[in-house]
A and B are shown apart, each in its own frame.
Chain A
Amino acid sequence: MAEINCPICNRLNKDEAERCWYCQAVLHPEKKNADGSSDWLDGFRQENTETPFEESNEASAGSDESPEDVPDWLARIRQREQLEHGGEPEQNPDGEKDTLDWLRSAVGNESPTESNTFKPAEVNEPAPTESDNDADWLGKLQSWQEESSEPNKSPAPEHPFEQEPKPSFSGPSNQEPDWLNEFKSEAAQSEPLPPEKQPDDSSTGDKPSPENISAFEQEPKAPIAEEPIIEDSIPPTDAIGFSIPEGNVVKPSSPEPDWLTDFQSLDETKDLADQVMPKPAVEEPVKAPFSGRDIMDWIDKDRSTPEEKPENAVEQVEVPQGTDEGIEPAKLPSWLQALRPDKSKRGIAGSTTSSDLNQKSPLAGIEGVLQDSVIGQFYTRPQTYANTLKITPEQENHLQRLQNIAGEARWEAQESVESKRQSSILLKAVVSLLLIGVIVFTVLTQKNSLVEPTMYSQPVVETFNIISALDPAKPVLIAAEFDSGLYGELKWSSESLLQQLMARNIPIAYLSTTQAGSTLFQATITDLARKNQDYSLADHTLNLGYLTGGTVGLQALANDPRGTLPLTTLMKPAWTDTPLQNTEKISDFSAVIVITENADTARYWIEQVKPSMGKTPLLVVISAQSAPMLQPYYDSGQVNGYIAGESGGTAFEKMAGVEGSSTSHFSAYQSTLILLVVLIFVGGMISLVLSTPSPERSDKNQS
């Protein structure tokens, strides 16, 4: 059996199928276009047949259909003529599709409730459509009927719809079928024909009602003389619920157009609508058995009564409420019964959702893809899972093995960390003991330096020269900018310099921007004064104490020393009756000496104070770790000289000809440095060997 792929979902379908089994997409669009019809009319026709009003027409509708090469309505007329003359009408296999597209648009513009719902009107109640607008054509129709009917025939009642319930059509009815009125009046004037049969007044479909005529209101008006336009303008009567009374059937006079001659063969006693547009059979064998259009049609019927309960809606669809209550509900085919959902489920799966999905979802335009019944089959309640994990004994064994492996790995990791920590402690202890042993040995033995420094650095030489050339009448300002951490280094580095100052009886005023600086320097200078009995601390030294503000304080000191530090640490005036009594500004000091272990502190003094010092030299005693950062300032001339670390202090002592702490500990210093160099080299080599992967180890890792 040949199969074709759906152009939408690309699934296989039977070749003779019109729509895709899965997505309801049209499988042969070119074929449909060639037929000039669309199967959307299937549902429309079925809807109309299920309405109470159309059910009356359905009873009298024929099953004849016209061929495709002639207009639908004309073909049906001809078929009807042939049928009346004893000929067999030709069956149109595509009878359901012989409908115009404009009708779909006309119907589609209306809401399902408006277009498809026909409410039975109450008895003796005028039709809801405006009778005033229809009065003229009804008058014409009545006059035409009187002329065309024989005198012995009883005329049609003036208000036939008042005696029986009429379906109401809620659609707009502002326009009248003028073309039809003109056509009728013209035909009546030409040749009135006596009716062969009295019209059946009991049948609602025999008389045209305003409701029926109103179905034409949305169709475009077209001149009736042109056949192609008439083909497009005249809708099938069974589709729109139009019927012409039998008594108003006219016979055309000759000579007339061909298409008009067909009307001459109409039987006046029969329903004109049935003759012009015979209604096809309800159940067409050509219709696809599983057309999604059909499913959507009955869903739309269910939507037409949203206020009703789902159960009632189902009942209404199955047994439509119409004027003809004697009609029993049709027996649906088995395949359609199988497709229809259960009554109990229809209330859950509303058809509105399906319609909305088709209009708003990405599948918009593909009708019938998402259907309530189908969705209900695919989607169920989410499955709930238990909180407990059920594992098999085999899985439990695997889990136990994994736990053992992880435990061993953790134990090995802990053991590795512990061993590393112990080895690290051992290594630190060994190195420390080595350092301490070397230092203790050199200090206790008072060994001479391994290498005596013979070449002194230029900053130290400059410092020595400046200190040697200082004016003893002017005081020296010393900034003790150090903490207790590197106090020992700075004390040894500055010891010989301070001794040089004391030897020359130069007054010393000292301050600090750190909290403990001035106190530590006071302890240092006190110790040095014990060695130099000629130097009186009370007369030659002045503790200005703590200078607050950091860089701001330094800026203030450079601009106004007296205002910045008015009192000494003993809360006495610092600038009267002291070595500073002749000092007004910072440049009045003979020299400014900054003792610090921090290069930034030295930079602050250079940046803030040095510009205000004039020709006053700025000397720095700095830790060895900050000496590289101070070198550029020395090169630029902002620092006149500096002593860096133990080696600088030793050099200064050597130049001064004194043996201070730096010189006495220089041997320990050198020995320790040599030991450190050896340790660094050995440690680097060991680390290099251990970090280099051996071929065997790399092979193991690769394997």
Chain B
Amino acid sequence: MTLDANLIWTIVSLVLTLFIFSYLFGDNILFRIACAILVGCTAGYLFVLIIYRVILPKLVVPLIEGSLIVLVPLFLSGLLLTKLSPKLSRLGNISMAYLVGAGAAIAVGGALLGTLFTQITGAVNSFAINDGTTKGINGVIVLESAFFLIGTISTLVYFNFTARSKDGQPAKRSPIVNLFAWIGQFFIAITLGAIFAGVLTSTITALIERIDFIITTISGFFG
């Protein structure tokens, strides 16, 4: 076995994996060492990444090439540094306002156009019971669409907590709302169960991958 970089990193990966597995016996120093190494490496890697992937290609290089437009983000970035000083922190509000405003506008616009409207359109299109390929009405599509519709409505109704209050009586939802909310509980439970199953399978897959890595590495050491 030659001692190359891949072997070294493989050994380091094996050791750190075993450190993480030591959490099985509770919180211990090995687990904390592995976590500290992960955090430190991530921070260092992020710093280098910002230098090489953000500052140099998007600020230094354009300045060298003579582009003055980058002075605007440079100025705004400088204002952000004033947040470190309590006296000058108000100057950084300009940059923060720009960032928050632009981010919120993009996020809201994307959510409306990319999720809300398209999902409504998708729900409506699910009732396209005749796609032109078959004659008559496809009963399966009808049932499936109705099931989706009931699931969607009942789930939304379940999260409707508003109700009218009468004189001298506590606020109560109408029987129809209560019925749909009761149905919505089943859809929510099924959804959460599916998510939990996905999480479980994901973690099982990650565990299998790590154990396979350990077995492969150890078997590689011993030929």
Contact = CB atoms under 8 A, between A and B. Distances in A.
Contact of B57 (A555, A567, A646): A567
B206 A625 contact: no
Given A486-B206, A626-B198, A428 B119 contact: no
A519 B52 CA distance: 14
How extensive is the interface on chain B, given as a class?
35 or more
Contacts of A638: 114, 118
A425 B209 contact: no
Please give me the 5 A-B residue pairs with the lowest Cβ-Cβ distance, nearest first: A488-B209, A607-B114, A636-B122, A607-B110, A625-B198
A489 B42 contact: no
Interface stretch (B82-90, B164-172, B210-218): B210-218
B213 to A, nearest CB: 8
A625 B191 CA distance: 11
A555 to B, nearest CB: 5
A571 interface: yes
B49 interface: yes
Interface string B51-72: 0111011000100000000000
Interface string A682-703: 0000000000000000000000
Given A432-B24, A571-B56, A603-B115, 10 more contacts: A428-B24, A488-B213, A489-B206, A515-B49, A551-B103, A569-B52, A624-B199, A626-B198, A629-B195, A672-B204
A516 interface: yes
A350 B141 CA distance: 98
Contacts of A429: 24-25
Contact of A635 (B107, B110, B122, B195): B122
B209 A492 contact: yes
A691 to B, nearest CB: 20
Interface of A: 425, 428-429, 432, 435-436, 439-440, 443-444, 485-486, 488-489, 491-492, 515-516, 519, 545-546, 548, 550-552, 555, 566-567, 569, 571, 597, 603-604, 606-608, 610-611, 623-629, 632-633, 635-638, 644-647, 665, 668-669, 672-673, 676
14 contacts: A435-B204, A439-B212, A443-B208, A515-B45, A516-B45, A551-B110, A606-B115, A610-B114, A623-B202, A625-B201, A628-B191, A628-B195, A632-B122, A636-B122
B26 interface: yes
A555 B215 CA distance: 43
A569 B56 CA distance: 11
Given A607-B115, A636-B118, A665-B209, A545 B202 contact: no
B205 A604 contact: no
Contacts of A668: 208, 212
Nearest to A567: B57
A515 B53 CA distance: 10
Contact of B103 (A545, A546, A550, A665): A550
B102 to A, nearest CB: 6
Contacts of A647: 201
Contacts of B211: 436, 439-440, 443
Contacts of B46: 515
A435 B126 CA distance: 42
Contacts of A425: 25-26
A548 B200 CA distance: 31
B1 interface: no
Contacts of B103: 550-552
Given A429-B24, A624-B198, A625-B198, A607 B111 contact: yes
A626 B121 CA distance: 22
Contact of B209 (A435, A489, A548, A603): A489
Interface string B90-110: 000000000000110011001
Nearest to A431: B24
A28 to B, nearest CB: 50
B33 interface: no
Contacts of A673: 200-201, 204
B143 interface: no
A673 B205 CA distance: 10
B52 A628 contact: no
Given A444-B215, A515-B46, A607-B114, A628 B205 contact: no
Given A515-B45, A606-B114, A636 B121 contact: yes
Given A569-B53, A628-B198, A485 B206 contact: yes
Contacts of A515: 42, 45-46, 49
Contacts of B26: 425
B106 A672 contact: no
Contacts of A623: 198, 202
B113 interface: yes
Interface in B4-54: 24-26, 42, 45-46, 49, 52-54
A372 to B, nearest CB: 54
B194 interface: yes
Interface string B105-135: 0110011011100110110011000000000
B103 to A, nearest CB: 6
B156 interface: no
Contact of A637 (B122, B198, B213): B122
A625 B199 contact: yes
Contacts of B201: 624-625, 645-647, 669, 673
B207 interface: yes
Nearest to B53: A546
A604 B113 CA distance: 12
B57 A624 contact: no
Nearest to B43: A515
Contact of A636 (B25, B119, B191, B202): B119
Contacts of A492: 205, 209
A486 B202 contact: yes
A597 B24 CA distance: 24
A638 B122 CA distance: 9
A204 to B, nearest CB: 80
A410 to B, nearest CB: 23
A669 B126 contact: no
B64 to A, nearest CB: 12
Contacts of B122: 632, 635-637
A669 B107 contact: no
A488 B42 contact: no
A9 B212 CA distance: 93
A636 B211 CA distance: 38
Contacts of A644: 198
B159 to A, nearest CB: 17
Given A551-B106, A646-B205, A676-B204, A635 B114 contact: no
Most chain A CB within a 10 A radius of its CB, from B103, B110, B111, B213: B110
B219 to A, nearest CB: 9
Contacts of B110: 551, 555, 604, 607-608
A457 to B, nearest CB: 13
A546 B46 CA distance: 10
Given A428-B24, A435-B207, A488-B205, A552 B212 contact: no
A234 to B, nearest CB: 67
Contacts of A611: 113-114
